[in-house]
Chains A and B, each alone.
Chain A
Amino acid sequence: GLHQVRLFRFFFVL
Chain B
Amino acid sequence: MLELRLVQGSLLKKVLEAMKDLVTDANFDCSATGFSLQAMDSSHVALVALLLRSEGFEHYRCDRNITMGMNLNNVSKLLKCAGNDDIITIKADDGGDTVTFMFENPKQDKISDFEMKLMDLDSEHLGIPDAEYHAIVRMPSLEFSRICKDLSSIGDTVVISVTKEGIKFSTRGDIGNANIVCRQNTTVDKPEEATVIQMNEAVSLTFALRYLNSFTKATSLSETVTISLSSELPLVAEYKIADMGYIKFYLAPKIED
Per-residue CB contact flags for chain A residues 1-14 toward chain B (1 = under 8 Å, else 0) read: 11111111111111
Give Cα A9 to B40, complex, Å.
14
B257→A14 contact, CB < 8 A: no
Q: List chain B residues, Cβ under 8 A from A4.
A: 43, 45, 208, 252, 254
B195 interfacial by beta-carbon distance below 8 Å: no
- Which of A1, A7, A13 is within 8 Å of B252, CB to CB? A7
Secondary structure dominating the interface of A: mixed
User: B90: CB under 8 A from chain A?
Assistant: no
Closest approach, in angstroms, between the C-beta of B256 and any C-beta of chain A? Answer: 6
Contacts of B256 in A (CB 8 A): 1-3
Is B175 an interface position by the 8 A CB rule? Answer: no
Cβ-defined contact, B45 with A6, below 8 A = yes
Determine the distance from Cα of A14 to Cα of B250 in the docked complex, in whole angstroms: 17
Q: Quote the shortest CB–CB distance from A14 to chain B (angstroms).
A: 5
Of residues 238 through 257 on chain B, the ones whose CB sits less than 8 Å from some CB of chain A are 250, 252-257
Which residues of the other chain, A, contact B254 by a CB distance below 8 angstroms? 2-5
B128 touches A11 (CB 8 A): yes
**Number of residues on chain B facing chain A (CB within 8 A):** 25
Mark out the residues of chain B between 152 and 192 whose CB falls within 8 Å of any chain A CB in the assembled complex.
157
Complex CA distance for A1 and B208, rounded to whole angstroms: 14
**A13 in contact with B126 given A2-B157, A5-B254, A5-B255 (CB within 8 Å):** yes
Q: Answer whether residue B34 sits at the interface, using C-beta atoms and an 8 A cutoff.
A: no
Min CB distance B131 to A, Å, is: 9
Complex: how many Å from CA A12 to CA B253? 17
The verdict on B95 contacting chain A, using a C-beta distance below 8 Å, is no
Cross-chain contact of B253 among A1, A5, A13 (Cβ < 8 A): A5
* B55 CB to nearest A CB, Å: 26
B96 within 8 Å of A by Cβ?
Answer: no
Least CB distance from A13 to B in Å reads 5
* Minimum-distance CB pairs A-B, first 5: A11-B126, A2-B254, A6-B44, A14-B125, A5-B252
Question: What residues of chain A have their CB less than 8 Å away from a CB belonging to chain B?
Answer: 1-14
Give me 13 A-to-B residue pairs in the complex whose CB atoms sit less than 8 angstroms apart, sorted by A's number: A2-B206, A4-B43, A4-B45, A4-B254, A7-B40, A7-B46, A7-B250, A9-B252, A10-B232, A10-B252, A11-B250, A13-B124, A13-B125
